[in-house]
C-alpha cells in the first residue's frame, strides 16, 4: 500500500486548500484513514479521520473549518481546508490503519496507523 499526498501550497489567512491522498495497492474499503499534521520540532498531531462507513471526526482546532471526504472509485481521500489560519501551517500527512483504529478511544494515536504518506507542506500567511 502506498499513500501519496498532493495539493499543498501557500495561501493567505482566510483562504482554502484541498489536499488529496491517493491510495495505491490493495486497500480495504473498511480501513480507517486519518489526516495528521506536524510542525518542525513539534509532535505530529491528529486533524481528522474517516472510517469505512464514511463517518468523520475532527480535532477541536479544525472542527467546523476542515472537511474530510472520499471518492471510493478513485481510491482517494480528501481534506478540504477552509478559513485557514497561520497556525494551520504544517506538513500534512495521510495515514491508513485498520478500521478498528477509527473506533479506538484515541483515533489520533500514531501507532494505530501502519501506512503513511510522504507529507505535503501547507503554509498560511
- 27 pLDDT band (50/70/90 cuts)? low
Q: Which of 55-64, 86-95, 105-114 is the least confident region?
A: 105-114
Helix (DSSP H) and strand (DSSP E) numbers for the chain? 1, 11
- Please name which of 80, 74, 70 lies closest in space to residue 50, comparing C-alpha atoms: 70
Q: Is 99 helix (H, G, I), strand (E, B) or coil?
A: helix
Using the 8-state DSSP alphabet, how is residue 100 labeled? Answer: H
β-pair partners for 24: 2
* Average pLDDT value over all residues in the chain: 94
Average pLDDT over residues 95-115: 91
Amino acid at each position: 500500500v502506498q499513500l501519496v499526498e498532493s495539493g499543498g501550497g501557500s495561501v493567505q489567512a482566510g483562504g482554502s486548500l484541498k489536499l488529496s491522498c491517493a491510495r495505491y495497492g490493495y486497500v480495504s474499503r473498511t480501513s480507517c484513514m486519518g489526516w495528521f499534521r506536524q510542525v518542525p520540532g513539534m509532535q505530529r498531531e491528529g486533524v481528522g479521520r474517516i472510517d469505512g462507513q464514511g463517518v468523520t471526526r475532527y480535532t477541536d482546532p479544525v472542527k467546523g473549518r476542515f472537511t474530510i471526504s472520499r471518492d471510493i472509485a478513485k481510491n482517494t481521500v480528501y481534506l478540504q481546508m477552509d478559513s485557514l489560519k497561520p497556525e494551520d501551517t504544517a506538513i500534512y500527512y495521510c495515514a491508513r490503519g485498520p478500521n478498528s483504529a477509527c473506533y479506538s478511544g484515541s483515533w489520533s494515536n500514531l501507532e494505530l496507523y501502519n501506512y503513511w504518506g510522504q507529507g505535503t507542506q501547507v503554509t498560511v500567511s
